[in-house]
């Protein structure tokens, strides 16, 4: 079985605002979004992601559209995990 990860909000933020696409945090975010990394989410984690990503300074750094995309994508992953049990 592939290991599951809990991705700290700081890692998510650093991956979004990194100017270096090969940075460890950017690579983690890419792996989350392309399905290469199995991660655990909960409503509380999603709430924290959203609260942090929507802070004004961070919104200026990454753009509101990206924050909304990440939330929508991660939320869809919860549905996949619930349906498949993995």
CA distance 30 to 10: 15
What pLDDT, on the 0 to 100 scale, is given for residue 71? 61
Question: Over the stretch 11-65, which tens digit does the pLDDT of each residue have?
Answer: 988 888 887 889 999 999 889 888 888 888 888 888 888 888 878 787 777 665 6
Does the pTM of the predicted model rise above 0.95? no
Is residue 84's pLDDT more than 90? no
- Which residue intervals of 1-86 are DSSP H helices? 9-17, 24-34, 43-53, 56-62, 64-84
Q: Which residues pair with 64 in a beta bridge?
A: none
What pLDDT, on the 0 to 100 scale, is given for residue 70? 61
What pLDDT, on the 0 to 100 scale, is given for residue 64? 53
Residue pair 41/78 in contact (Cβ under 8 Å)? The answer is yes
């Amino acid at each position: 079985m592939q290991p599951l990860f809990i991705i700290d909000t700081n890692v998510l933020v650093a991956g979004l605002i990194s100017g270096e696409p090969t940075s460890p945090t950017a690579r983690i975010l890419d792996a989350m979004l392309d399905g290469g990394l199995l991660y655990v989410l909960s409503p509380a984690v999603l709430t924290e992601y959203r609260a942090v990503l929507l802070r004004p300074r961070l919104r200026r750094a990454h753009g509101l559209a990206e924050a909304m995309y990440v939330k929508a994508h991660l939320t869809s992953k919860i549905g996949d995990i619930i349906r498949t049990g993995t």
